Chains A and B, each alone.
Chain A
Amino acid sequence: MKKVLIIWLLILVIAALTFAAGEQEGKGTNKMVALRVWDRDSVMGDVVDQFNKKMQSEGKNIKAQFELIPYGQQVPKFMAAMAAGRAPDIYSLDLVQYPYFISIGAFKDITEEFEALPFKDELPQGILRLGKQNNKVYALPYEIDLSVLNWSKNMFRAAGLDPEKPPLTWDDLIKDSVSLTKDKNGDGNPDQWGFAEVGNNAGSYMFWFMPFIWGNNGRMFDDNGKVVFDSRESKEALQLWYDLIYKYKAAPVSSAQWSSGDRYNAFIAGKLGLFLSGNFYIKTIMKDAPDLDFGVTLIPHGKGKGATFGGGNLIGITSQSKHPAEAWEFIKFAFSKDVLVNNYAPKLMLIPRRDLYENKYYAKYPQMKKYQEILGHAITPYTYKYNQIYDPVLYYLQGSLLGKIKIDSAIKDLAVELKKVTK
């Protein structure tokens, strides 16, 4: 017992010493303007480091500190910080959160600064719209995410399909999914699937299912924000997804319960041929499954044109920031050519400035060319209550894919809920 006590005391003393040392480190930055930068993507950490180096070499007393905010915590942590009057200076947050947070005054008006930017017309306008309110600009598109379809050329070859011809229309999608679904070991159950649906998360339905409705000339909101979801176009899109599971048996029922990670893992494992994907998967697929030969295409369309969901982050200065001028200096730096091309392009992340797409990193991959083209198709629904539409979206869409709600009433009831929420 004595020995344990002595060890314990020793640890305590050492810990106390390092404790004191650690607290000391924090001091001495009093004169500096400290900018707090939050982002859900770690690449921003590198940008912050480069910014600090530049400031140091220019002799400016500005130092940025980066904090990674996990995706699931980006709202709670922001709300807690705002309530305490301690919001970060700069926040790169999921774009769908902006309309609400701008409406409660959480972000600073940067219209003037924006108008002075030489590349302001190169930013994707459809996405910028979420950072605007009453003709004022509060936030700019920074990291772009687009929903697409990946197809496994390996599995296309094995199934006797042309590996260079991805499905473009709903009919193609049905045909290919059926041919890709196979029972290889003959136990009566498919062990490889053509298609998989988007599962247990509302954001995924918005990101991957909505483009099916758009590609069928349907919409969720019209230009004035009115709910126009209850339409034949929406029903047909949902019917297609339903049929892929129950009629054509080309997608597992359970995929209506999967997370995106599950779908990704199935694609990597060679158990899924057509993968509802996004630009953010390209690099990881190449790393996790180097032998997988895959292509990128638009999400198949019905009677309309192929569509994609414009997602990602906007970046803005919070209204609680005490150093808005320095924060703008940081944002300008983050949008500079060197920063975007050297930090984001090598990771094959999509950059916000269209004038920078012709770069040596994208040039190496044919898939990236496709993205440049797809960017023009991007649509993002606009609503103040984005988060509140999440819950009914998941409930009704997943419910109908699990066979618990009839398709017609799912669409009708969801439209009613949407009207209630956005009223």
Chain B
Amino acid sequence: MNKRHSFYKLLIALPALLLSLLFLAPIAWSLISSIKHTADILKYPPILFPKNITLEQYIKLFRAGDGVFLLFIRNTIIMTTFTISLVLIISVLASYAFVSLPFKGSNFIFILILSIFMVPFQALLIPLYSILNKLRLLDTKVGMVLVYSTFFMPFCIFMFRNYFSGIPVSIRESARLDGASELTILLKFYLPLSLPAVATIVVYLFLETWNDFVLSLIFSSSNNVKNIQVGIMNFGRQRFQSDWGIINSGSIFSLLPTIIIFLMLQKYYIQGMTAGASKE
């Protein structure tokens, strides 16, 4: 039995190791390229393990346009934070209503919200631009946050609705009998039971907002609103060729916070899991 067990372990561990390598290889290649001197990046045969490493490409990224990249980082952090907060609040509220306060037509609203997910952004570009302009929200962070929230909320509402409908009806029935308000039921019972969903959604929203390119490109003009991805492509993409140094260093740089967020939340996501299970 034991022998067979360790054999299984090896059988699982080996492909796992290979698989990890496979998943990391493209990023590793990008990382390696980002610490090469400009002249070495495009050498062929490719230099797999550069002897002289340099931070040149990162310095180039941060120096481009008089150091405006730092401003882009600030903008992105602000917009991401607000989008996550706003979407969490509105989607928890809406999902709770869909599950435990349904009314005639609420299912139809749910389908409408889901359909946001189905529309390619390119189709809505021109009318959306006009509306933002009329509301004086074009080229503002507030406008960006609202647009992000609209386009990213369907998934979150779907997810929460899913989780909430798995929570036994008896919980809210008995709370209602005790005279608890709907908001209290949501905050005291439903939300704590849905922490894993919260973790998944925070990760999702963070990535979508942090990595957004097209929306920011079209709806922002000033440096006070542009985000990191637009910055990288502005500096890295020229008309007929690319500055691979900047594209690589930019990609690696913008990857770091997303990995950190995921590492942080991975823990809570497990904790939330066990907490949810023990209450049942």
Contact = CB atoms under 8 A, between A and B. Distances in A.
A touches B in complex, CB < 8 A: yes
Interface stretch (B23-31, B78-86, B100-108): B78-86
B133 A85 contact: yes
Interface residues of B, number: 38
A67 B221 contact: yes
Given A11-B81, A264-B240, A280-B239, A80 B125 contact: yes
A40 B81 contact: no
A264 B81 contact: no
Interface stretch (A158-166, A214-222, A226-234, A265-273): A265-273
24 contacts: A1-B195, A1-B271, A18-B74, A19-B78, A22-B224, A23-B140, A45-B65, A67-B221, A68-B234, A70-B237, A73-B218, A77-B217, A79-B126, A84-B129, A84-B130, A84-B134, A260-B240, A261-B241, A265-B42, A265-B241, A270-B44, A271-B44, A278-B240, A289-B42
Contacts of A85: 133
Contact of A84 (B44, B133, B224): B133
A83 to B, nearest CB: 5
A77 B138 CA distance: 13
Given A80-B125, A264-B240, A290 B224 contact: no
Contacts of B224: 22, 25-26
A247 interface: no
Contact of B43 (A18, A68, A264, A269): A269
Interface in B253-280: 268, 271
Interface in B57-109: 65, 74, 77-78, 81-82, 85
A34 B60 CA distance: 30
Nearest to B71: A22
A85 B131 CA distance: 11
Interface in B201-239: 217-218, 221-222, 224, 233-234, 237-239
A83 B39 contact: no
B221 to A, nearest CB: 5
A12 interface: yes
A12 B42 contact: no
B34 to A, nearest CB: 15
A416 interface: no
Given A1-B268, A12-B81, A84-B130, A269 B42 contact: yes
B82 A15 contact: yes
Contacts of A65: 221-222
Contacts of A73: 217-218
B138 A86 contact: yes
Given A45-B65, A67-B221, A269-B42, A83 B77 contact: no
A265 B239 CA distance: 14
Contacts of A325: none
B161 interface: no
A4 interface: yes
Nearest to A207: B240
Interface residues on A, range: 35 or more
Contacts, number: 95
B271 to A, nearest CB: 8
A70 B235 CA distance: 10
A40 B39 contact: no
Interface in A186-206: none
Contacts of A36: 221
Given A12-B85, A288-B42, A71 B239 contact: yes
Given A45-B65, A269-B43, 18 more contacts: A1-B195, A12-B81, A65-B221, A70-B233, A70-B234, A73-B217, A73-B218, A76-B125, A83-B129, A84-B129, A260-B240, A261-B240, A268-B42, A271-B44, A281-B240, A288-B39, A288-B42, A290-B39
**Interface SS, A side:** helix
Contacts of B200: none
Nearest to B129: A80
Contact of B130 (A12, A83, A264): A83
A141 to B, nearest CB: 16
Contacts of B41: 288
Interface string A41-58: 110010000000000000
A265 to B, nearest CB: 5
A356 interface: no
Nearest to A7: B264
Interface in A262-294: 264-265, 268-271, 278, 280-281, 284, 287-290
Nearest to A41: B239
B157 to A, nearest CB: 21
A76 B218 contact: yes
A81 interface: yes
Contacts of B42: 265, 268-269, 288-289
B137 to A, nearest CB: 12
Contacts of A287: 38
Contacts of B85: 8, 12
Contacts of B81: 11-12, 15
Contacts of A278: 240
Given A15-B81, A18-B74, A269-B43, A70 B222 contact: no
Nearest to B132: A84
Contacts of A260: 240-241
Contacts of A18: 74, 78
Contact of A86 (B39, B133, B239): B133
B109 to A, nearest CB: 28
A41 B235 CA distance: 10
A65 B234 CA distance: 16
Top 5 closest pairs, chain A to chain B, by CB: A269-B44, A80-B129, A84-B133, A84-B130, A260-B240
Contact of A70 (B77, B125, B134, B217): B217
